[in-house]
């Protein structure tokens, strides 16, 4: 076999047959022998993984990443072949009868190539079509054996590999990242007792209470069927028609109109399991649980004007940010927290825990941190991993179980069903990114694209011919559903109905709105104004305003005024005349400001404007300081390439004012050096750059010679309140740098914001 393998095209799927290692799966955490041969450390994230995380985690990470090695293909040093492994002599010309003659049907090489190409696309996801994935690991803080027997939570320090996919919901696969939309936050845990998918969103509530309404919701928000517009946007008639007729969506609309719907980065948004789930321990005792992902980098969002501009200049804004953070070793990290409560506690709440339009205020049930997730490796191939990954709300492991949330019930059905058409048959669990680390044995057979070669003649159970295998695991090892009591009142029997508490649609919408800071509230009002101003039917706008009156009169008035509604419509009639008193009326943790983050300025992009003739020393000092703190400083100039500074040194510009406009950066530095400043002043892009930074409330550092640029851009020297603007730092000494760094850490300085914008 040695001689056979040597010098032959190496097919990594068939390691066993070619006499390399047997192709068995490595134990979780083990580094497979083939890894060193096949995987060349090609990305920075691979090279960096151990040094940067510095924990056992990298090993855990390798557990999934390693099993994928059996299918990773590296063509280095190999000849080009057909799919049958036949070497191809000429990949330039089709087979013809004479140089100028017709192409021959016989050309199987041409036909194989074109046929495969013709089928390169698969259907996109019906929702969440646009997404970005990453590998990583989950690390458990402490054993949770009292609460759950779920494998990831059994030991302190235990590592479980994960694959995560973030997504927008409404847009098509090639749509922009910065649409106003919910973000998907789907985590596949490759546990050592099978795959568990926590398929969540970046908002803790949902539009509807029952899966029966999901197709209606999606048809309403997707581009309108007659002309297929607008793309990746909810600002159109059908969406607002539907939601204004569905008062249960009001709470979710508050979230969707908030800046949560335009995250600055996937690394700066929360994630939520949304539904109530159950934890089940080894004794079979169960408690209810809600899952929360809290980003270590804090919660930071864009502002609308910025998101709109970014979608033109960089439609891949969030995807690029995720990729670059991982390549740079600034791994996105999230803490997993749980709200745990009993059935008795749940019964006493003023809302129903089976209602996905309600959250449980953290002030009522605190969030207990139980572990952390680090994303430390980019996929090798977008299609094979991010596109083919199949998440499913029904994928749970022993220790996790469902509640009776009727939205969840529909999801338990929908995901497998959708993958069957999207991924072409029932065997998508065999696609490498979807395979569990545990072995799979059952009597399911055949179907499209079957990979496993089942041996023997037994495909049924019970059997004696196969020695009774595979055999039932029994309750100690296998999945056992919680024997939850069914509450249907005897007299009710089978019904199509909802419990009464589901009908309170406004208490939590109010709670959310009242818990926002003034600038967050202003952004919510502006978002309603914008979206509804795109609605062409006045009756829909009015209906929405009538619904908002049940949330906040002030909000309703503000929105109505900007829609030209002079006579306020009556508040929408409520389904319930009296609702149980809410436990909390303010929940500070619902504000984005509640989580500024622990990672300082890491990952923030800072533009240092330069041109021929700028003063270099101060810029270089600042550049290295920012770099040291984990920020991404970039020299931006009228053109890319080398520039000569005031003292004749050379600075290389990374980007131009044209190819990376101001709104792509989190902060701006205006240089010293009069000649350079004069050159910048001649370029209209410079003033737009400054204006956008100011309008989007981002910090600006102004070195003395550049104060003229601030005047030219008509930047007000003081805040509207008359106070100094803490986001504008003049000078370059150490205290100015310190002030600038803390201004960047704060991200935005909304106290300068006016509506409409002054600049
Ligand atoms: Fe869903 C995809 C999250 C309700 C049916 N959903 C999908 C994805 C996420 C969510 C993150 C993308 C997974 C990926 O990256 O591949 N969905 C949610 C959340 C919901 C929710 C948090 C409410 C709490 N979904 C929901 C309902 C249904 C679906 C009620 C149907 C009854 N969702 C699907 C789907 C998708 C999907 C049609 C499309 C592509 C896919 O599953 O793989 O089955």
290: nearest Cα among 365, 209, 397, 187: 365
Q: Is residue 206 within 6 Å of ligand 1 at its C-beta?
A: yes
Residue 482 burial (CB count, 10 A)? 14
Q: Is 102 exposed, middle or buried (0-12, 13-18, 19+ CB in 10 A)?
A: exposed
- Alpha-carbon span 430 to 413, nearest angstrom: 19
Q: Is the per-residue pLDDT at 87 higher than 50?
A: yes
Per-residue pLDDT at 7: 37
pLDDT, mean of residues 518-536 = 98
Judge contact between 655 and 609, C-beta under 8 A: no
pLDDT, mean of residues 51-67 = 50
Q: Is the per-residue pLDDT at 41 higher than 90?
A: no
Q: What is the pTM of this model?
A: 0.93
Tens of pLDDT, residues 214-252: 999 999 999 999 999 999 999 999 999 999 999 999 999
Tens of pLDDT, residues 642-665: 999 999 999 999 999 999 999 999
pLDDT, mean of residues 3-21 = 37
740: nearest Cα among 697, 699, 694: 699
Q: Is residue 428 within 6 Å of ligand 1 at its C-beta?
A: no
Q: Is residue 211 within 6 Å of ligand 1 at its C-beta?
A: yes
Q: Is 18 exposed, middle or buried (0-12, 13-18, 19+ CB in 10 A)?
A: middle
Helix, coil or strand: residue 395? coil
Q: Is residue 205 within 6 Å of ligand 1 at its C-beta?
A: no
- Alpha-carbon span 182 to 284, nearest angstrom: 35
Output the CA 391–ligand 1 centroid distance in Å: 8
Query: In which band, very low, low, confident or very high, does the pLDDT at 62 lie, cut at 50, 70 and 90?
Result: low
Pair type for strands 632-637 and 655-656:
parallel
Query: In which band, very low, low, confident or very high, does the pLDDT at 577 lie, cut at 50, 70 and 90?
Result: confident
- Alpha-carbon span 528 to 534, nearest angstrom: 10
Query: In which band, very low, low, confident or very high, does the pLDDT at 35 lie, cut at 50, 70 and 90?
Result: very low
Per-residue pLDDT at 93: 97
Catalytic residue among 48, 61, 195, 201: 201
Per-residue pLDDT at 31: 34
- Which atom, in ligand 1's list, is nearest to the CA of 208? 30
Query: In which band, very low, low, confident or very high, does the pLDDT at 557 lie, cut at 50, 70 and 90?
Result: very high
Judge contact between 225 and 270, C-beta under 8 A: no
Share of the chain above pLDDT 70, in %: 91
pLDDT, mean of residues 542-551 = 98
Q: What is the mean pLDDT of the chain?
A: 91
Alpha carbon nearest to ligand 1 atom 1, residue:
411
Catalytic residue among 48, 128, 135, 429: 128
Output the CA 338–ligand 1 centroid distance in Å: 21
* Residue 214 annotated as part of some ligand binding site: yes
Query: In which band, very low, low, confident or very high, does the pLDDT at 19 lie, cut at 50, 70 and 90?
Result: very low
Output the CA 406–ligand 1 centroid distance in Å: 14
Per-residue pLDDT at 487: 65
Output the CA 727–ligand 1 centroid distance in Å: 40
- Alpha-carbon span 204 to 290, nearest angstrom: 9
Alpha carbon nearest to ligand 1 atom 20, residue:
200
Per-residue pLDDT at 640: 97
Per-residue pLDDT at 180: 98
- Alpha-carbon span 318 to 131, nearest angstrom: 10
Residue 30 burial (CB count, 10 A)? 13
Output the CA 127–ligand 1 centroid distance in Å: 7
Buried b (16+ CB within 10 A) or exposed e, 219-248: ebbbbeeeeeebebbbbbebbbbbbbebbb
Per-residue pLDDT at 63: 65
Q: Is residue 391 within 6 Å of ligand 1 at its C-beta?
A: yes
Q: Is residue 122 within 6 Å of ligand 1 at its C-beta?
A: no
Q: Is the per-residue pLDDT at 636 higher than 90?
A: yes
Q: Is residue 201 within 6 Å of ligand 1 at its C-beta?
A: yes
Per-residue pLDDT at 24: 37
Tell me the best of 219, 269, 293, 391 to mutate to test the pocket of ligand 1, counting ligand atoms within 8 Å of each CB and taking the most.
391
Measured CA to CA in angstroms, residue 433 lies from 201, 231, 412, 608, 654 at distances of 21, 29, 20, 41, 36
* Residue 529 annotated as part of some ligand binding site: no
Per-residue pLDDT at 38: 30
Query: In which band, very low, low, confident or very high, does the pLDDT at 46 lie, cut at 50, 70 and 90?
Result: low
Q: Is the per-residue pLDDT at 357 higher than 90?
A: yes
Buried b (16+ CB within 10 A) or exposed e, 287-307: bbbbbbbbbbbbbbbbbbebb
- Alpha-carbon span 66 to 59, nearest angstrom: 10
- Transcribe 303-371 into DSSP letters: -HHHHHHHHHH-TTHHHHHHHHHHHTT---EEEEEEEEE-HHHHHHSSS-TT-TT----TTTSPPEEEE
Q: Is residue 126 within 6 Å of ligand 1 at its C-beta?
A: yes
Tens of pLDDT, residues 464-491: 999 999 999 999 999 999 997 766 566 7
Judge contact between 393 and 415, C-beta under 8 A: yes
- Alpha-carbon span 291 to 369, nearest angstrom: 10
What are residue 267's phi and psi, to 5 degrees?
A: -80, -10
Tell me the best of 411, 412, 419 to mutate to test the pocket of ligand 1, counting ligand atoms within 8 Å of each CB and taking the most.
411
| 73 vs 167, higher pLDDT | 167
Output the CA 238–ligand 1 centroid distance in Å: 21
Tens of pLDDT, residues 329-352: 999 999 999 999 999 999 999 999
Q: Give the contacts of 50 (CB within 8 A, at least 6 positions apart).
A: 58
| 424 vs 29, higher pLDDT | 424
Q: Is residue 410 within 6 Å of ligand 1 at its C-beta?
A: yes
- Alpha-carbon span 284 to 589, nearest angstrom: 33
With tokens 């996105």, the residue in question is 332
Tens of pLDDT, residues 282-334: 999 999 999 999 999 999 999 999 999 999 999 999 999 999 999 999 999 99
Q: Is the per-residue pLDDT at 61 higher than 80?
A: no
Q: Give the contacts of 749 (CB within 8 A, at least 6 positions apart).
A: 697, 698, 699, 725, 726, 727, 743
| 56 vs 387, higher pLDDT | 387
Per-residue pLDDT at 569: 98
Residue 343 burial (CB count, 10 A)? 14
Give the pair of three-digit tokens for residue 129. Answer: 């079509």
pLDDT, mean of residues 619-629 = 96
Tell me the best of 122, 123, 128 to mutate to test the pocket of ligand 1, counting ligand atoms within 8 Å of each CB and taking the most.
128
214: nearest Cα among 291, 274, 126, 276: 126
Per-residue pLDDT at 21: 38
Per-residue pLDDT at 26: 34
Query: In which band, very low, low, confident or very high, does the pLDDT at 56 lie, cut at 50, 70 and 90?
Result: very low
Tell me the best of 169, 182, 199 to mutate to test the pocket of ligand 1, counting ligand atoms within 8 Å of each CB and taking the most.
199
Q: Is the per-residue pLDDT at 33 higher than 60?
A: no
Pair type for strands 271-272 and 277-280:
unpaired
Q: Where are the alpha helices (DSSP H) in 153-236?
A: 214-221
Residue 417, preceding bond cis, omega within 30 degrees?
Answer: no
Tens of pLDDT, residues 378-393: 999 999 999 999 999 9
The DSSP secondary-structure symbol of 294 reads E
Per-residue pLDDT at 55: 40
Q: Is the per-residue pLDDT at 163 higher than 70?
A: yes
Residue 462, preceding bond cis, omega within 30 degrees?
Answer: yes
Is-catalytic flag, 128?
Answer: yes
Q: Is the per-residue pLDDT at 20 higher than 70?
A: no
Alpha carbon nearest to ligand 1 atom 35, residue:
415
Per-residue pLDDT at 68: 86
Per-residue pLDDT at 489: 62
Give the pair of three-digit tokens for residue 750. Answer: 């909304």
Residue 563 burial (CB count, 10 A)? 18
């Amino acid at each position: 076999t040695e001689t056979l393998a040597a010098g032959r095209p190496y097919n990594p799927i068939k390691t066993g047959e070619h006499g390399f290692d047997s192709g068995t799966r490595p134990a979780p955490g083990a580094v497979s022998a083939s890894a060193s041969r096949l995987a060349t450390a090609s990305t920075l994230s691979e090279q960096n993984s151990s040094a940067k995380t510095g924990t056992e985690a990298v090993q855990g990470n390798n557990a999934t990443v390693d099993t994928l090695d059996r299918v990773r293909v590296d063509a280095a040093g190999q000849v080009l072949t057909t799919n049958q492994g036949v070497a191809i002599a000429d990949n330039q010309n089709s087979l013809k009868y004479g140089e100028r003659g017709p192409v021959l049907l016989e050309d199987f090489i041409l036909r194989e190539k074109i046929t495969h190409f013709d089928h390169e696309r698969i259907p996109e996801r019906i929702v969440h079509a646009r997404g970005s994935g990453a590998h990583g690991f989950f690390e458990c803080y402490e054993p949770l054996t009292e609460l759950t027997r779920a494998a990831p939570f059994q030991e302190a320090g235990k590592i479980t590999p994960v694959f995560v996919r973030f997504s927008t919901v409404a847009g098509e696969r090639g749509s922009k990242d910065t649409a106003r939309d919910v973000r998907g936050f789907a985590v596949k845990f490759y546990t050592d007792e099978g795959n568990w998918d926590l398929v969540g969103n970046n908002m803790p509530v949902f539009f509807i209470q029952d899966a029966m309404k999901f197709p209606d919701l999606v048809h309403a928000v997707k581009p309108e069927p007659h002309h297929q517009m607008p793309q990746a946007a909810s600002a159109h008639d059908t969406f607002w028609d539907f939601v204004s007729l569905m008062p249960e969506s009001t709470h979710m609309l508050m979230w969707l109109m908030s800046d949560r719907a335009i995250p600055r980065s996937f690394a700066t948004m929360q994630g939520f399991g949304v539904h109530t789930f159950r934890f089940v321990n080894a004794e079979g005792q169960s408690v209810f649980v809600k899952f929360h992902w809290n980003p270590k980098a804090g919660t930071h969002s864009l502002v609308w004007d910025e998101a709109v501009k970014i979608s033109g200049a960089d439609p891949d804004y969030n995807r690029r940010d995720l990729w670059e953070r991982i390549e740079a070793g600034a791994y996105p990290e999230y803490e997993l927290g749980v709200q745990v409560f009993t059935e008795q506690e749940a019964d006493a709440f003023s809302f129903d825990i089976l209602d996905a339009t309600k959250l449980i205020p953290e002030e009522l049930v605190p969030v207990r941190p139980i572990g952390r997730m680090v994303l430390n490796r980019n996929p090798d191939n977008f299609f094979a991993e991010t596109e083919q990954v199949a998440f499913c709300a029904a994928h749970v492991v022993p220790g996790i179980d469902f509640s009776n949330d009727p939205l969840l019930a529909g999801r338990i059905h929908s995901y497998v069903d959708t993958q069957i058409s999207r991924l072409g048959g029932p065997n998508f669990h065999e696609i490498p990114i979807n395979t569990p680390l545990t072995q799979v044995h059952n009597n399911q057979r055949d179907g499209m694209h079957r990979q496993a070669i089942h041996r023997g003649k037994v495909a049924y159970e019970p059997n004696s011919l196969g020695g009774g295998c595979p055999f039932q695991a029994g309750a100690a090892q296998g999945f056992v559903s919680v024997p939850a009591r069914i509450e249907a009142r005897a007299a009710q029997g089978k019904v199509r109905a909802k419990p009464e508490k589901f009908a309170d649609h406004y208490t939590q919408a109010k709670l959310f709105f009242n818990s926002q800071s003034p600038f967050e509230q202003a952004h919510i009002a502006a978002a309603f104004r914008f979206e509804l101003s795109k609605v062409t039917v006045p009756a829909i706008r009015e209906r929405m305003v009538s619904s908002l009156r049940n949330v906040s009169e002030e909000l309703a008035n503000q929105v109505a005024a900007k829609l030209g509604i002079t006579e306020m419509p009556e508040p929408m009639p409520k389904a319930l005349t009296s609702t149980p008193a809410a436990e909390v009326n303010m929940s500070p943790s619902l504000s984005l400001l509640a989580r500024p983050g622990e990672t300082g300025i890491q990952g923030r992009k800072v533009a240092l404007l330069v041109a021929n003739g700028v003063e270099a020393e101060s810029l270089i000092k600042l550049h290295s300081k920012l770099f040291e703190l984990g920020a991404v400083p970039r020299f931006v100039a009228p053109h890319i390439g080398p520039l000569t500074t005031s003292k004749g040194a050379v600075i290389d510009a990374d980007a131009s004012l044209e190819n990376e406009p101001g709104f792509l950066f989190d902060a701006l530095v205006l240089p010293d050096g009069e000649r350079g400043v004069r050159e910048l002043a001649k370029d209209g892009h410079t003033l737009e750059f400054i204006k956008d930074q100011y309008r989007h409330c981002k910090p600006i550092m102004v070195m003395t010679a550049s104060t003229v640029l601030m005047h030219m851009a008509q930047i007000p020297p003081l805040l509207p309140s008359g106070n100094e603007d803490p986001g504008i730092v003049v000078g370059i000494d150490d205290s100015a740098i310190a002030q600038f760094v803390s201004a960047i850490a704060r991200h935005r300085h909304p106290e300068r914001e006016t509506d409409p914008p002054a600049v």
